[in-house]
Amino acid sequence: MYLFYTMANFQGTVLMITGILLVVCIILIIVFLYNSKTELEWPPLVGDCPDYWIDLSGNGARCVNVHDLGTCTNSDPKYEHLNMNFTTYDDCAKFNWAQGCGVSWDGITYGYGMTSPCEPTTTETTTT
């Protein structure tokens, strides 16, 4: 009988310690996730070319629409794909072009939350 009581007491202690450790771990995970969420800028990386386009130059100077996506087409002969140079475009111009052509662009057409890159950033000012 004593052995059973000792074993039950041991199991209860182990279960209680395990429960406390689980709660502490969950709290730490929540704190770490909250802190990492508040320190990140979005989008972390914006591509030089629209989604599914090929960047032949490596810097956005020659983006080729090899899948002929979107509504903007090239007037060149058949099998000629649309080539664009986006190095001189700012984010707002890229956004307007992509929206007009029906092309998705990670970090440009989505990734800004509820605002577009053309909307001015709001800063609080106090007037006296």
pLDDT digits (tens, 9 = 90+) for 61-88: 888 888 888 887 665 555 456 777 787 8
- Look up residue 85 and give its DSSP letter: -
Q: Which of 17-21, 27-31, 105-109 has the lowest mean pLDDT?
A: 105-109
Task: Supply 43's token pair.
Answer: 């989008």
Task: Supply 94's token pair.
Answer: 């890229």
How far apart CA 73 and CA 81 sit, in angstroms, is: 8
Please give the residue range of the domain that contains residue 64. Answer: 43-118
Residues 50, 35 share a domain: no
Residues 113, 52 share a domain: yes
Residues 100, 57 share a domain: yes
How far apart CA 96 and CA 101 sit, in angstroms, is: 9
Residues 66, 7 share a domain: no
